[in-house]
Structure 1
């Protein structure tokens, strides 16, 4: 049985830690979904002048301007078939910093041998992802080209006005937890936003994504 991630990684998928294989094996074919719950030990942002940029992203759950330590969070990984017939997996993170709820919405599909990550509540940004597996069985993710879509408008989003995400996720046998470390950098202005944390997963049948993690709009263009 395959998933959108195993299809893209090919033989490298078998190099992932077995628990990472299960987590990124969620899909309609495997019939599994999962919910991760844990703590973001650190949520960081860049200098003060990055806040307006992050506030704009906050409007559609793309970026978060808040910072904090030991912040409880939940991540929903639920596969479903979108209105365009594509298998989609949610990567929706929910947390609260200083009592204020926040979300980072992402939904991923497979297209032409790559993963495309739609960001935000309305899938305004489509981002190509480069996936690799390192020697410790961790998954390395780096974002690439980005495209902005709104109504009839569609254009390649300049990275000068956006950020490039780098993420490493692994499973640690010593504590039985997943560990994630992510940062977003702008090619001119440097570090914008990042977090690191740990979590455990609860597995469940893939019976459709919960309504609250499904985007309000599905973009057909990739």
Structure 2
């Protein structure tokens, strides 16, 4: 694994750059532009290593209501059933062509929680609607979320989720707001520390915040051709429906 500086010009064919558009992508901090230029055209993969300062769940009655969903989701590497502080983690962003010929980028996060590691898996492809990225969650891509990315005035990246769909066999239904949730991800680069900062909040429109995490990490880059996609990184099942 190697780290290079200064950052090169981002690839014009990154799925994230395409979704954001040229003007918005250019407003991101240069280090974010490089991270979100990971793709087949750039030929780079990115691995981030750092610490989550806090992984939290909602409190009170809401915590008891969501606990079964968190436990169930964790069986397919969706969501995190446990909380913690100062939790080491790794995020792997590796591009590849999936079984349907779509450029895909992994967002596989491994958290070294007490009692053993937990994974939160996602794979992203270009969304069906202009300006979107489709985020498949879990080992079997049962859940699909539409994402929109935007640049903040300080050069950070804001990602907001839109419609969520559940897919299994012939079933393809929209997840109702009552049991669904909206995710907001903010990623920035701290020039003082040379680290990326990440903050994630998942909120239900009826009961409020459900869970989230925040922390920081450093990133290293390597050649996809040289390293490939390691075993266990790709989902078990791939969903054809976009």
Q: Same fold (TM over 0.5)?
A: yes
1:83 corresponds, among 89, 93, 99, to 99
Spell out, residue by residue over 1:119-145, the C-alpha distance to the aligned partner (whole angstroms, 9 max, x if none). 010000110001110011100011110
Hey, what does 1:38 align to over in structure 2? 50
C-alpha separation in 1, matches of 2:118 and 2:20: 31
Classify the secondary structure of the residue corresponding to 1:179: strand
Once the two structures are TM-superposed, the CA of residue 99 in structure 1 deviates from its matched residue by 2.9
2:15 corresponds, among 4, 7, 19, to 4
Kindly indicate whether residue 176 of structure 2 is the aligned counterpart of residue 158 of structure 1: yes
Pick which of 46-55 and 58-67 moved more: 46-55
Once the two structures are TM-superposed, the CA of residue 217 in structure 1 deviates from its matched residue by 0.5
Unaligned runs of 5+ in 1: none
Unaligned runs of 5+ in 2: 1-10
Classify the secondary structure of the residue corresponding to 2:232: helix
Kindly indicate whether residue 130 of structure 2 is the aligned counterpart of residue 102 of structure 1: no
C-alpha separation in 1, matches of 2:70 and 2:205: 16
Classify the secondary structure of the residue corresponding to 1:161: coil
C-alpha separation in 1, matches of 2:224 and 2:194: 23
Hey, what does 1:54 align to over in structure 2? 70
Write out aligned runs for 1:56-71 (5 A): 56-71=72-87
Segments of 4+ moved more than 6 angstroms: none
Classify the secondary structure of the residue corresponding to 1:19: helix
Whether the aligned pair in 2 keeps the contact of 1:146 and 1:159 (CA below 8 Å) is: no
C-alpha separation in 1, matches of 2:18 and 2:112: 34
Structure 1 or 2: more strand by fraction: 1
C-alpha separation in 1, matches of 2:188 and 2:232: 27
Whether the aligned pair in 2 keeps the contact of 1:127 and 1:143 (CA below 8 Å) is: yes
C-alpha separation in 2, matches of 1:164 and 1:216: 25
TM-score by length of 1: 0.97
Once the two structures are TM-superposed, the CA of residue 187 in structure 1 deviates from its matched residue by 1.1
